[in-house]
């Protein structure tokens, strides 16, 4: 009976215990990480707040934050940090659970163009453009990863929806030869943008020089400019500079013809007037600059001098046939002007003495007419006339006098050609046919009587003067007796 009583009491106690309410979960946790949207790196000290209940926390070194014991329900969560675009999310907290609250924030930074830089021996300064896409003014500062890098400006601001240009340069003086990976760090309101900078340093270098198009071209000259844009890495001056040129070398060097200026301690622009050139001729021209390391050249330009105005060899002009155009080195050459020699169309005579009044019986008279150069025949002719006298009424006629007294086609300034001039007549308009014109001068080339007097007296033998055989198979320039050898005469004049 007593046992039954105890069993009833125990049953009642258990029944009461089982009917009591268990505790109900009413709160949850928000757990998240704040990172940068591009790099996915943690954002330290970002502010995360729940606006509904006025709670906020900061992220740690790992970018993590947590809200605990948050009553279940929907909340507006805000993540922010200076330099980043603020983000807001609606998060539902479930009782007894942890809700994810990750944020990925965008940097409030300028857009860089280009987004990476390369500097080397040839390009040691570049321009970086920073663009502000915000509606507010953007303040920034710039750090460099190396003291060899310089920027300007180091800090400034960018107007809304505007750009700012940054000059970036490298100083090689503290660097060894090699490749370097450096960077610029653009800081804006606690956020940063990294611009990779590759530096390729090959050591001290020659100058950098450029060439411009010619500003003036004539028949005998070319005016052209150049520009030294860099003295060269580690160079304190350029020792010499100018232009090199050649008609045959398509890549002319300082071993070819050149203009030369210098030295200079500053980069500069300069001009060369290349003179005494051949007309109608193509020249290969490059600018050059030399420092202690070496010589640098620009690209090569091809420039052709102009065709001369006026008659050319083989043309009929001013009473005869043009057979020679004066060129650089000739006494009668005038730069920029067109002059030359004209031959009469026919021989004046055949079989005539060189001098008058000089024979073996009376002794030879020295005239001192010994000039040989092309174009010097007029001087020789006058010296001979002064010594021998002019022909009068058909008397005392000789080679120089019949040329001097000639009036042909309204021209009266004819003379006997000098020694070297005979070669030009024979080769250019005579049997020598060097220009492919043939014997348009109608010179005697039969071989039996094809010699022509020059106005050049022999310096060695008083009784002799120079003459040239015009026979096409012969190149015989010889001396003949002034009075005993009777030779052909062809008068010439200058124009």
Quick: pLDDT tens for 108-165: 889 999 999 999 988 999 999 999 988 889 999 999 999 999 999 999 999 999 999 9
The whole-number pLDDT of residue 447 equals 66
pLDDT, mean of residues 198-204? 91
Report CA Rg, the chain.
50
Cα(192)–Cα(459) distance, integer angstroms: 93
Are the C-beta atoms of 76 and 103 separated by less than 8 Å? no
pLDDT, mean of residues 241-266? 97
Tell whether the model's pLDDT for residue 459 goes beyond 70.
yes
Tell which residue, 46, 109, 108, 107, has the closest CA to residue 78: 46
Tell whether the model's pLDDT for residue 8 goes beyond 60.
no
Lowest-pLDDT range of 27-36, 236-245, 435-444, 482-491: 482-491
Tell whether the model's pLDDT for residue 469 goes beyond 60.
yes
Structural domains in the chain, sorted by start? 27-105 (2.60.40.1120), 111-201 (2.60.40.10), 208-304 (2.60.40.10), 316-494 (no CATH)
Tell whether the model's pLDDT for residue 2 goes beyond 80.
no
Identify any residues that bridge with 166 across adjacent strands, giving them in sequence order: 128
Cα(123)–Cα(119) distance, integer angstroms: 5
**Residue 296's pLDDT band (cuts 50, 70, 90):** very high
Q: Model pTM?
A: 0.45
Cα(58)–Cα(66) distance, integer angstroms: 9
pLDDT, mean of residues 60-68? 96
Tell whether the model's pLDDT for residue 16 goes beyond 50.
no
Tell whether the model's pLDDT for residue 12 goes beyond 50.
no
Quick: pLDDT tens for 263-289: 999 999 999 999 999 888 999 999 999
**Residue 190's pLDDT band (cuts 50, 70, 90):** confident
Cα(443)–Cα(425) distance, integer angstroms: 9
**Residue 234's pLDDT band (cuts 50, 70, 90):** confident
Q: What is the DSSP string of 264-317?
A: BSS-EEEEEEE-SPPTT-EEEEEEEEEETTEEEE---EEEEPPPPSS--TT-EE
Quick: pLDDT tens for 19-53: 445 678 899 999 999 998 878 999 999 999 998 88
Tell whether the model's pLDDT for residue 361 goes beyond 90.
no
Average pLDDT, rounded, for the chain: 89
The whole-number pLDDT of residue 220 equals 85
Buried-state track 311-343, b at ≥16 Cβ within 10 A, e below 16: bebbeeeebbbbbbbbeeebebbeeeebbbbbb
Tell whether the model's pLDDT for residue 473 goes beyond 90.
no
The whole-number pLDDT of residue 156 equals 96
DSSP three-state, residue 152 = strand
Lowest-pLDDT range of 44-58, 127-141, 240-254, 471-485: 471-485
Task: Choose between 67 and 449: higher pLDDT.
Answer: 67
């Amino acid at each position: 009976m007593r046992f039954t009583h105890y069993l009833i009491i125990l049953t009642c106690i258990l029944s009461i215990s089982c009917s009591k309410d268990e505790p109900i979960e009413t709160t949850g946790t928000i757990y998240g990480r704040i990172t940068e949207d591009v790099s996915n790196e943690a954002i330290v000290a970002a502010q995360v707040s729940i606006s509904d209940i006025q709670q906020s926390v900061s992220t740690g070194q790992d970018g993590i934050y947590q809200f605990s014991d948050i009553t279940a329900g929907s909340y507006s969560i805000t993540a922010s940090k200076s330099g980043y675009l603020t983000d807001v999310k609606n998060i539902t907290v479930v009782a007894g659970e942890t809700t994810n609250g990750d944020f990925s924030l965008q940097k409030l930074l300028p857009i860089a163009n280009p987004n990476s830089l390369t500097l080397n021996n040839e390009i040691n300064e570049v321009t970086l453009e920073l663009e502000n896409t915000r509606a507010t003014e953007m303040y920034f500062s710039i750090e460099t990863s190396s003291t060899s890098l310089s920027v300007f400006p180091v800090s400034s601001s960018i107007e809304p929806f505007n750009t700012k240009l940054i000059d970036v340069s490298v100083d090689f003086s503290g660097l060894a030869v090699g490749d370097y990976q450096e960077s610029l760090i653009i800081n804006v309101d606690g956020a940063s943008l990294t611009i990779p900078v590759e530096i390729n340093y090959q050591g001290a270098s020659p100058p950098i020089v450029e060439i411009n198009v010619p500003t003036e071209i004539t028949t005998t000259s070319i005016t052209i400019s150049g520009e030294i844009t860099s003295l060269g890495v580690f160079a304190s001056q350029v020792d010499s500079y100018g232009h090199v040129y050649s008609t045959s070398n398509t890549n002319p060097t300082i071993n070819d013809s050149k203009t030369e200026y210098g030295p200079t301690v500053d980069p500069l622009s300069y001009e060369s007037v290349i003179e005494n050139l051949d007309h109608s001729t193509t020249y290969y021209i490059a600018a050059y600059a030399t420092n202690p390391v070496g010589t640098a050249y620009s690209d090569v330009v091809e420039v052709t001098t102009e065709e001369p105005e006026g008659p050319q060899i083989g043309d009929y002009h001013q009473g005869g046939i043009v057979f020679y155009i004066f060129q650089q080195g000739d006494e009668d050459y005038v730069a920029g002007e067109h002059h030359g020699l004209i031959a009469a169309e026919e021989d004046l005579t055949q079989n005539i003495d060189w001098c008058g009044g000089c024979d073996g019986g009376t002794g030879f008279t020295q005239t001192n007419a010994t000039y040989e150069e092309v174009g010097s025949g007029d001087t020789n002719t006058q010296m001979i006339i002064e010594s021998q006298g002019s022909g009068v009424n058909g008397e005392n006629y000789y080679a120089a006098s019949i040329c001097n007294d000639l009036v042909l086609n309204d021209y009266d300034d004819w003379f006997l050609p000098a020694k070297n001039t005979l070669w030009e007549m024979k080769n250019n308009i005579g049997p020598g046919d060097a220009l492919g014109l043939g014997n348009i001068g109608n010179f005697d080339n039969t071989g039996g009587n094809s010699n022509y007097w020059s106005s050049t007296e022999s310096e060695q033998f008083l009784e002799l003067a120079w003459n040239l055989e015009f026979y096409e198979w012969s190149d015989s320039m010889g001396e003949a007796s002034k009075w005993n050898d009777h030779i052909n005469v062809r008068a010439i004049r200058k124009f």
